[in-house]
């Protein structure tokens, strides 16, 4: 198992591991096996969502691992079709039922869906669910500064986390600054760049050679050093171990800057623009 994973303290006082495990699209028996392997390899933060249709598999993997519930953190996400207050409450209860858990460590609004315009209502539901103890920390995903400002102004409650698409081709400097301004921890989805990972780009390949690590480890270490929490997905036990093993070396400031400079205007690869993308 890799060395112990550092943690961040969130703005609500709870802690979050500095790296987690993405579970999309791990489903069925293979999905249970992959998540079980991730836990065995040392991951203590698991990222699922209602829309991944694998909450049951994640719950089963936790039970099979034999690791105590309070040593594993589970994140799930509220889908767009459940933004209405009562639907959001029922949705979180449904997530808990499928996971077989009595609380979630972190629950996020998956996408703001601003045209529909009910994310404020969803946020109020999450606040109440946190007060009831069903969710320890609450946050958002794919929120812009404007969406953040609106829910914070409306409720006085700041999300603990904003999970956004973030990788070397889309380093999200503006959103990282916006999150930081509010004391929100940035989490990175598609942290490696998924199928378009920049493994052979010179700043990544050169740093890998200099530090004697794999290109994927360089990218994940870059994530850690820019203050984001990456949640890489891998179905492969060897890659799971490798991706977690990023706390034994440090990139120089120049290496970090060179990787950040890979960002490009068309770097948003997968999720679309949060102002227009709709995910129900
Ligand atoms: N909030 C949102 O809207 C949102 C959107 C998308 C994703 N997410 C979350 O973010 C998680 C991660 O994002 P992602 O799965 O899109 O992308 P990713 O983690 O950047 O990339 C995953 C891909 O990279 C491969 N891979 C993993 N480690 C590798 C390594 N060391 N070397 C070479 N290839 C490697 C994996 O293949 P193998 O499995 O074959 O190793 C898989 O094809 C998801 O699982 C999900 O939990 C959230």
* pLDDT tens-place string over residues 85-119: 999 999 999 999 999 999 999 999 999 999 999 99
Ligand 1, from 191, 192, 235, 268: best to mutate by most atoms within 8 Å of Cβ?
192
By the 8 A CB rule, do 6 and 251 touch? no
State pTM to two decimals. 0.98
By the 8 A CB rule, do 15 and 8 touch? yes
| Ligand 1 and 271: CB distance under 6 A | yes
| Ligand 1 and 142: CB distance under 6 A | yes
In angstroms, the CA 33 to CA 18 distance is 23
In angstroms, the CA 106 to CA 138 distance is 5
Per-residue pLDDT tens digits for 212-262: 999 999 999 999 999 999 999 999 999 999 999 999 999 999 999 999 999
| Ligand 1 and 186: CB distance under 6 A | no
pLDDT of residue 69: 97
Q: What is the mean pLDDT of the chain?
A: 96
Average confidence (pLDDT) over 185-214: 96
C-alpha 233 to ligand 1 mean position (Å): 4
Residues 119-122: contacts with CB under 8 Å, at least 24 apart:
119/83, 119/143, 119/147, 119/151, 120/150, 120/151, 120/154, 120/155, 121/83, 121/84, 121/85, 121/88, 122/78, 122/82, 122/83, 122/84, 122/85, 122/88
By the 8 A CB rule, do 79 and 51 touch? yes
The catalytically annotated residue of 52, 103, 119, 169 is 52
By the 8 A CB rule, do 160 and 14 touch? yes
pLDDT of residue 271: 65
By the 8 A CB rule, do 47 and 75 touch? yes
| Ligand 1 and 193: CB distance under 6 A | yes
Angle at 229 between CA 224 and CA 230, to 5 degrees: 90
C-alpha 181 to ligand 1 mean position (Å): 28
Closest residue by Cα to atom 45, ligand 1, is 22
User: CA-CA distances (angstroms) from residue 1 to 43, 68, 223, 240, 252?
Assistant: 9, 17, 21, 10, 26
Q: Considering only 116-130, 176-190, 240-254, 261-275, which range has the smallest mean pLDDT?
A: 261-275
Lookup result for tokens 């034999």: 66
C-alpha 220 to ligand 1 mean position (Å): 12
**What share of the chain in percent tops pLDDT 90?**
91
C-alpha 21 to ligand 1 mean position (Å): 9
Ligand 1, from 78, 109, 233, 271: best to mutate by most atoms within 8 Å of Cβ?
233
pLDDT of residue 92: 98
Ligand 1 atom showing the smallest separation from residue 191 Cα: 20
Q: How confident is the model at residue 4 (pLDDT cuts 50, 70, 90)?
A: confident
52 is catalytic: yes
pLDDT of residue 245: 98
């Amino acid at each position: 198992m890799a060395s112990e994973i550092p943690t961040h303290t969130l703005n609500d006082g709870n802690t979050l591991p500095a790296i987690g495990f993405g579970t999309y699209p791990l489903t069925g028996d293979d999905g249970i096996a992959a998540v079980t392997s991730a836990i065995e390899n040392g991951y203590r933060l698991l990222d699922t969502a209602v829309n991944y249709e694998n909450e049951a598999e994640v719950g089963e993997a936790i039970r099979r691992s034999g690791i105590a519930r309070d040593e594993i953190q589970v994140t799930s996400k509220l889908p767009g079709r459940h933004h209405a207050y009562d639907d959001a409450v029922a949705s979180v209860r449904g997530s808990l039922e499928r996971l077989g858990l009595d609380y979630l460590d972190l629950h996020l609004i998956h996408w703001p869906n601003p045209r529909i315009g009910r994310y404020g209502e969803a946020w109020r539901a999450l606040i109440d669910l946190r007060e009831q103890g069903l969710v320890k920390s609450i946050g958002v995903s794919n929120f812009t500064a404007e969406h953040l400002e609106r829910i914070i102004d409306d409720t006085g409650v700041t999300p603990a986390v904003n999970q956004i698409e973030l990788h070397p081709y889309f380093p999200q400097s503006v959103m990282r600054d916006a999150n930081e301004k509010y004391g929100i921890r940035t989490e990175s989805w598609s942290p490696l760049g998924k199928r378009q990972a920049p493994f052979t780009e010179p700043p990544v390949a050169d740093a890998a050679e200099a530090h004697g690590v794999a290109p994927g480890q360089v990218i994940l270490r870059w994530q850690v050093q820019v203050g984001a929490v990456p949640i890489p997905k891998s179905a492969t036990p060897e890659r799971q171990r490798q991706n977690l093993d990023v706390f034994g070396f440090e990139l120089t400031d120049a290496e970090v800057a060179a990787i950040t400079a890979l960002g490009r205007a068309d770097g948003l690869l997968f999720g679309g623009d949060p102002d227009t993308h709709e995910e129900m």
